[in-house]
Amino acid sequence: MMRSPPPPQSQGNSNYGSPYGGQAAGGGGGGGGASFVPGFGGFMNDPTAQMGYQVGKTALNAGQEMFEQNVNRYVSIPALKHYFNVSTPYVLRKLLLVLFPWRHRPWSREQRPSSSSSASPDANYYFLPPRDDINSPDMYIPVMAIVTYILLSTLLAGLRGAFHPEVMGLTATTAFVVVLLEILGLKFGTYILSISNDSQLLDLVAYSGYKFVGVIVTLVVSETFNRGQGTGGWAGWTIFTYTFSANAFFLLRSLKYVLLPDSSSTHPASGSMHTVARSQRTRRTQFLFIYSYIVQFVFMWILSRQDGNPTQAKAAAAKIMGS
């Protein structure tokens, strides 16, 4: 099964995430390895204060280690870092690809051999991170799109005079419920289709979030043409039809290489399946069609619904406030 590569390992001591890459955590330039303790006017020279500082530091490190262990039970942090390894040019190109996928070629993802076995003919191949491959799924755009969708829906409700304090909470709840239902559906689908690779599940979760890009475009364009009347009317349905079609086509082409791996690939990625049984391939094709068109249509329609009647919106708000 296909899987994405872990993030590249740094050489020597790990300084990942530190803005001071060349400095060690424990010493200055000539401190002889002694840890640096700020002075604070001589307060930290007190033995009791130093002991409290060391106890707090130890407790913080223990808490961080416990947090990472508990999180890693459910989600692989190194694997997640791969999906957030993006750049500004990648984000711009990916947004254009999601909205205008019709003439894009090719759709297959790029691979590279592992550094430890690059000279071997039987080297393991891994997928490139998003910043190096436009066809690689990422989670940066979906996460930012969800946040933008919540804020944009709240702003549009205010511009239509339909804002009430619960609108942001209701919008966020709707978005998160849709995402949760879709992830549960994908988890069930991977079980039915015998997809046991965690990396493939993360790929599906990443692809599920791109619908919010089309929903945001639908909301903005519909509000512009309908002059505050929501997403109904010919303008709303026209832009919704286009964004839905573009998202469905994008998913259909992209997920083909996740659910139906190419057995003729010269360098199959490590963990990928070389062959898929005919019956299994038929089931995966049906799942791909249902997910890309039917499921996405229902979810995108729910997310893009906007009530353009301020009177009805205020009545609904009063009902919510009264309850």
DSSP string, 288-316: HHIIIIIIHHHHHHHHH--B--HHHHHHH
* pLDDT reported for residue 97: 95
Across 11-25, 78-92, 96-110, 229-243, least confident range:
11-25
* pLDDT reported for residue 22: 40
Tell me the pLDDT tens digit for each residue of 201-228: 788 889 989 999 999 999 999 888 877 6
Show the tokens assigned to 315.
């009545």
Instruction: Confirm if 305 and 175 have CB atoms less than 8 A apart.
Output: no
Peptide linkage before 38 cis (omega within 30 of 0): no
CA distance 142 to 212: 7
CA dihedral 141→143→148→153, nearest 10 degrees, is 130
Instruction: Confirm if 278 and 161 have CB atoms less than 8 A apart.
Output: no
Instruction: Confirm if 285 and 245 have CB atoms less than 8 A apart.
Output: no
pLDDT: which is higher, 138 or 21: 138
Show the tokens assigned to 114.
């592992």
Phi, psi of 87 (to 5 degrees): -135, 165
List, as own/partner pairs, every contact residues 60-65 make where C-beta atoms lie below 8 angstroms and the sequence separation is at least 24, other chains included: none
Instruction: Confirm if 241 and 300 have CB atoms less than 8 A apart.
Output: no
Show the tokens assigned to 33.
């390895």
CA dihedral 84→87→195→110, nearest 10 degrees, is -150
Whole-Å CA distances, 284 to 191, 192, 193, 195, 273: 12, 9, 7, 10, 14
Amino acid symbol at 156: L
Position 280 pLDDT exceeds 90: no
* pLDDT reported for residue 42: 57
CA distance 45 to 21: 29
CA distance 109 to 124: 15
Question: If you average pLDDT over residues 143-149, what whole number do you get?
Answer: 95
* pLDDT reported for residue 110: 85
Whole-Å CA distances, 90 to 107, 142, 284: 15, 14, 29
Instruction: Confirm if 178 and 303 have CB atoms less than 8 A apart.
Output: yes
Instruction: Confirm if 212 and 144 have CB atoms less than 8 A apart.
Output: no
